[in-house]
Amino acid sequence: MAPAPSKLYADDVSLLMVLLDTNPLFWTSSSLPFSNFLSHVLSFLNSILLLNQLNQVVVIATGYNHCDYVFDSSLAANQGSENGRMPALCSDLLQKLEEFLVKDEQLHKEGSEKGLASSLLSGSLSKALCCILFYDLDICTASLCLIFRRFFDQGHSIHNPGYVAIMNSIFSAQRSMVPIDSCYIGSNNSAFLQQASYITGGVYLKPQQLDGLFQYLSTVFATDLHSRTFLQLPKSVGVDFRASCFCHKKTIDMGYICSVCLSIFCKHHKKCSTCGSVFGQAQSDNESASNLKS
Amino acid sequence: MPQVKIIAKNFMDMVASLPAMKLDNLYSNAFICEAILRSLPPLAKKYVLQMLCIEAPVSAKSMEEWVLADGATKHKVAIDRLLQLRLLTETVDRKRETTYRLNPVFQSNLQKLLVCGEVLPREPMPTNVIGKLPSLENLEVFAVEQWECFLLQLINSSQAERPSNISSSTMKVFQRGLLSQREKEAPRLTESGFQFLLMDTNAQLWYIIREYISNSEERGIDPSDLISFLLELSFHVTGEAYNINSLTEVQRSTIKDLADLGLVKLQQGRKESWFIPTKLATNLSMSLTDSSSRKQGFVVVETNFRLYAYSTSKLHCEILRLFARVEYQLPNLIVGAITKESLYNAFENGITADQASCIPWLFYIISFLQQNAHPRVAERIPSVPENVTDQIRLWEADLNRIEMAPAYLYDEFPSREVFEAACDFAREWNGLLWEDSKKMRLMVKAEVHTNMREFLRRAKQ
């Protein structure tokens, strides 16, 4: 007689953090309207909750100016449907999302001159990681799922101000063994999301046909971590591993690295801008480095 | 006596064993679809989800490509399970290619669930009608009390404080296999009954519910109706009140039985009556026990074989009495000792069939002590002192010192040669039990006897 038949199916309980891109600037230029996109995502969330009674889903919206929790299945579970027609999950989420967008717009108006044209990935990533730590990971395995319309293009290098913050949160995700899955809806591949998934052992996917987004989501991202070990999942073909420099946020192939804090610079500096270490007698080394560079 | 094997089989095995017609009917209920989906192995769940939006049949070959090479056995298990539950239908076309298709009723029900989200089976009653609902803690206490009362009644009908209204015939059904009723003797626990008491609550519940369902036909209730009602019940929200008038006649009579088991609490208002599902009911559709619902333990076992159980429950006392000598009982504490005699007492109950069955017994006693370890000792590893578990094993081994085998004795051999040849022959057949070369006698297993006789006859000639 088996000593513990009770643990038979318990290893597929998962906690899924979904980070949604709600940046209006990106969605206006998309071939997939935001409402359609949402309905795909809602079905996806439903399917996760359907698979196991103990599964949990937390949705974090990442907007133009701030990011916030939009939905938490553990809080919503006890309420039940309010008006009988709309299921609890949808109404709850849509309402919160609307509030979020209104607030986002307000914030934008207040500080418009500062306006960042990229979604605040770093903020929502750290929020998600905090949330994962808050939950009990003994009974479930956590994974992060990023669904982003467009991150930032490599060309617009001035627009990636959160580079260091994002990389740090990716590494802390790696440390806490949380895989980051990313679904990128856009024309070019996003090096950032590719790197994030590669480092943390998640899956990066760029759906070809946006009409079937739900199928992509349910096939790839609804897989619990236990099943991933023996399921055929999309593999990364080539990951752009190039880093951005800390001074101009340019993507570079070769550069200078601070030997103390490992900050990356595209040009030689006298002093590290991150940790303040003074780079002495660099002149001669500099030449050899620039030789290498060319 | 029919051998009843107590295995905490889950609900779904039972569902799978239903005839095909009834199974197909069950899937018209969305809750059952949901419960069944949740009970599947992870990979099977994944397949269902993946095929949910595919209307056309999927070939077996392409499905095999979904898994990596090391997942092949898991793949097979998942597919077999899906076929067994008739969630997938298999067709072999002219080119001998196997294709699978999802059960259309099941598929459309799940699609609806995905689009609309989860819906509750019935609306809870508004609070202004009911007044005050019992708190979740009270409800839990109620459920536990009710369940223990039922168990007490089950093992010892005279000890129960309140008689429940489960009919005595149904009670007999539950007792069948758990108690042995010999004539002119007080009913004793059988080996399976003993195991049953030491299982955790969820497993016990499964056993009882299973008996209850398989017995339903005798009471004139369709088992598939009962299954669908029980599954539906598990989707109600714990602690909410639901109007009893929304139930059918059959369900109403069922729910009274369930109230006795502690699955629901019945309450009556001025005009209407309602039922409140407890945690026991909502756990029903969960695929067996989960560790999160583990109760707090109460047993401390010391290295000197003394046993302290911090419990007020009569049932716990009865269970401990099965294998330990209870010395005194204080209001909140039961003190006892595990002795050789008390354990033999326990083993004796079961030594009816074969001796090998003692091993699970032992396992059940030790795992009961470990699972119910008091939080203070539960942190320690092992929670039950090693010398105690070892000693229990040794005592148990003591019982099995003698092994009996039917045998034949041969003596008065005409010569030493014949005797030696006979010994060799018996050894060849692996049947020599004992030999005495001085007196020329040997003992042979009964199954070898005919061959041996044949051999000796030939040797004589």
Q: How many angstroms separate the CA atoms of B30 and B109, rounded?
A: 6
Q: Where are the alpha helices (DSSP H) in B157-276?
A: 168-175, 191-198, 201-214, 223-233, 249-261
What is residue A251's three-state secondary structure?
A: strand
Q: Which residues on B lie below 8 Å from A79 (Cβ)?
A: none
Residue B312 clears pLDDT 50, i.e. is over it: yes
pLDDT of residue B29: 81
Which of the four pLDDT bands, split at 50, 70 and 90, describes residue B335?
very high
Mean pLDDT of A53-64: 82
Q: What is the predicted ipTM?
A: 0.76
Q: Which residues on B lie below 8 Å from A52 (Cβ)?
A: 38, 45
Mean pLDDT of B64-80: 85
Which of the four pLDDT bands, split at 50, 70 and 90, describes residue B269?
confident
**CB nearest B119 (choices: A7, A81, A223):** A81
E strand or H helix at B102: strand B98-102
Which of the four pLDDT bands, split at 50, 70 and 90, describes residue B129?
low
Q: Which residues on B lie below 8 Å from A9 (Cβ)?
A: 39-42, 287-288
Q: Which residues on A lie below 8 Å from B291 (Cβ)?
A: 6-7, 10, 139
What is residue B194's three-state secondary structure?
A: helix
Check A218 against B49: CB less than 8 A apart: yes
Mean pLDDT of A134-146: 70
Strands B179-180 and B306-309: unpaired
Residue A90, phi-psi category: left (phi > 0), alpha (psi -120 to 50), beta (remainder): alpha
pTM of the predicted protein model: 0.69
- Whether B165 is covered by a domain: the verdict is yes
- Whether B5 is covered by a domain: the verdict is no
Mean pLDDT of A125-143: 77
Kindly report, residue by residue over A24-44, the tens digit of the pLDDT: 777 777 777 888 888 888 888
Residue B292 clears pLDDT 80, i.e. is over it: no
Do B337 and B415 sit in the same domain of this protein? no
**Range name among A239-248, B91-100, B368-377 with the lowest pLDDT average:** A239-248
Do B182 and B236 sit in the same domain of this protein? yes
Which of the four pLDDT bands, split at 50, 70 and 90, describes residue A154?
very low
Interface residue A43 vs chain B (CB under 8 A): yes
Interface residue A2 vs chain B (CB under 8 A): no
Residue B351 clears pLDDT 50, i.e. is over it: no
Which of the four pLDDT bands, split at 50, 70 and 90, describes residue A294?
very low
Do B148 and B274 sit in the same domain of this protein? yes
Interface residue A82 vs chain B (CB under 8 A): no
Do B312 and B373 sit in the same domain of this protein? yes
Going through A168-286 in order, the beta strands assigned E by DSSP cover 180-184, 204-205, 243-244, 251-252, 256-257, 264-265
Q: Which of B84, B116, B148 is the last residue of a domain?
A: B116
pLDDT of residue B378: 78
**Range name among B49-58, B117-126, B143-152, B448-457 with the lowest pLDDT average:** B117-126
**What are the backbone dihedrals phi and psi of residue B171, each rounded to the nearest 5 degrees, phi first?**
-60, -40
Residue A231 clears pLDDT 60, i.e. is over it: yes
Minimal CA separation from A219 to chain B, in Å: 5
Mean pLDDT of A47-76: 81
Do B138 and B280 sit in the same domain of this protein? yes
Cβ atoms of B312 and B267 closer than 8 Å:
no
Q: Which residues on B lie below 8 Å from A231 (Cβ)?
A: 43, 46, 66-68, 71
**CB nearest A227 (choices: B43, B288, B290):** B43
Q: Which residue matches tokens 């033999």?
A: B344
Q: Which residues on A lie below 8 Å from B240 (Cβ)?
A: 80
**What are the backbone dihedrals phi and psi of residue B227, each rounded to the nearest 5 degrees, phi first?**
-60, -45
Check B42 against A227: CB less than 8 A apart: yes
**CB nearest B117 (choices: A84, A88, A232):** A88
**CB nearest B34 (choices: A3, A50, A78):** A50
Q: How many CB atoms lie within 10 A of CB B412?
A: 8
Residue A3 clears pLDDT 70, i.e. is over it: no
Q: Which residues on B lie below 8 Å from A232 (Cβ)?
A: 65-68
pLDDT of residue B9: 56
Interface residue A214 vs chain B (CB under 8 A): yes
- Chain A window 250-269: which residues touch B at a Cβ cutoff of 8 Å? none
Number of domains, chain B: 4
Do B243 and B275 sit in the same domain of this protein? yes
Going through B303-371 in order, the beta strands assigned E by DSSP cover 306-309, 325-330, 333-337
In chain A, domain spans: 14-230, 242-281
pLDDT of residue B337: 92
Among all residues of chain A, which has the CA nearest to that of B53? A215
**Range name among A117-131, A157-171, A274-288, B280-294 with the lowest pLDDT average:** B280-294
Q: Which residues on A lie below 8 Å from B202 (Cβ)?
A: 6
Residue B356 clears pLDDT 50, i.e. is over it: no
Do B132 and B280 sit in the same domain of this protein? yes
Q: How many angstroms separate the CA atoms of B250 and B221, rounded?
A: 7
The domain containing residue B454 runs over which residues? 407-459
Mean pLDDT of B282-302: 64
Q: What angle do CA A125, A127, A128 make, to 5 degrees?
A: 65
Number of cross-chain residue pairs from A and B with Cβ atoms under 8 Å apart: 114
pLDDT of residue A273: 81
**CB nearest B67 (choices: A12, A49, A232):** A232
Residue B220, phi-psi category: left (phi > 0), alpha (psi -120 to 50), beta (remainder): left
Do B197 and B311 sit in the same domain of this protein? no
Do B437 and B396 sit in the same domain of this protein? no
- Whether B213 is covered by a domain: the verdict is yes
Among all residues of chain A, which has the CA nearest to that of B359? A1
Strands B441-445 and B432-436: antiparallel
Residue B2 clears pLDDT 60, i.e. is over it: no
Residue A193 clears pLDDT 70, i.e. is over it: yes
pLDDT of residue B354: 43
Kindly report, residue by residue over B408-428, the tens digit of the pLDDT: 998 888 888 889 888 888 888
Check A226 against B42: CB less than 8 A apart: yes
Cβ atoms of A182 and A197 closer than 8 Å:
yes
Burial status of residue A51 (CB atoms within 10 A of its CB: 0-12, 13-18, 19 or more): buried
Interface residue A50 vs chain B (CB under 8 A): yes
What is residue B9's three-state secondary structure?
A: coil
Do B165 and B224 sit in the same domain of this protein? yes
Interface residue A74 vs chain B (CB under 8 A): no
Q: How many CB atoms lie within 10 A of CB A185?
A: 22
Kindly report, residue by residue over B170-205, the tens digit of the pLDDT: 677 777 767 666 555 566 666 677 777 777 777 777
Q: Which of B296, B260, B262, B297 is CA-nearest to residue B279?
A: B262
List Cα–Cα distances, B359 to A11, A164, B366, B401, in angstroms. 29, 61, 11, 14
Check B291 against A7: CB less than 8 A apart: yes
pLDDT of residue A283: 53
Residue B8 clears pLDDT 60, i.e. is over it: no
Do B304 and B422 sit in the same domain of this protein? no
Q: How many angstroms separate the CA atoms of A47 and B377, rounded?
A: 41
- What mean pLDDT is reported for chain A? 74
Mean pLDDT of B330-344: 87
Mean pLDDT of B347-361: 53
Architecture of domain A14-230: 3-Layer(aba) Sandwich (3.40)
Do B132 and B273 sit in the same domain of this protein? yes
Residue B237 clears pLDDT 80, i.e. is over it: no
- Whether B4 is covered by a domain: the verdict is no
Among all residues of chain B, which has the CA nearest to that of A40? B115
Q: Which residues on A lie below 8 Å from B287 (Cβ)?
A: 8-10
Residue A66 clears pLDDT 60, i.e. is over it: yes
**CB nearest B113 (choices: A50, A52, A215):** A50
Q: Which residues on A lie below 8 Å from B360 (Cβ)?
A: 1
DSSP state of A236: P
Check A232 against B65: CB less than 8 A apart: yes
Among all residues of chain B, which has the CA nearest to that of A81? B119
Q: Which residues contact A26 (CB under 8 A, 6 or more apart)?
A: A119, A149, A150
Q: Which residues on B lie below 8 Å from A218 (Cβ)?
A: 49-50, 52
Say which amino acid occupies A253.
D
Residue A135 clears pLDDT 80, i.e. is over it: no
What is residue B195's three-state secondary structure?
A: helix
Query: Higher-confidence residue: B457 or B203?
Result: B457
- Whether B433 is covered by a domain: the verdict is yes
List Cα–Cα distances, B381 to B373, B376, B378, in angstroms. 11, 11, 7
**Range name among A80-84, A207-211, B48-52 with the lowest pLDDT average:** A80-84
Among all residues of chain B, which has the CA nearest to that of A52? B38
Q: Where are the alpha helices (DSSP H) in B40-71?
A: 42-51, 60-64
DSSP state of A239: -
Q: Which residues on A lie below 8 Å from B4 (Cβ)?
A: none
- Whether B121 is covered by a domain: the verdict is no
- What mean pLDDT is reported for chain B? 78
pLDDT of residue B241: 81
Instruction: Give Dmax (Cα) for chain B.
Output: 101
- Whether B292 is covered by a domain: the verdict is no
Q: Which residues contact A238 (CB under 8 A, 6 or more apart)?
A: none
CA B261 to chain centre: 17
Query: Higher-confidence residue: B170 or B312?
Result: B312
Q: Which residue matches tokens 């299954």?
A: B227
E strand or H helix at B265: strand B264-268
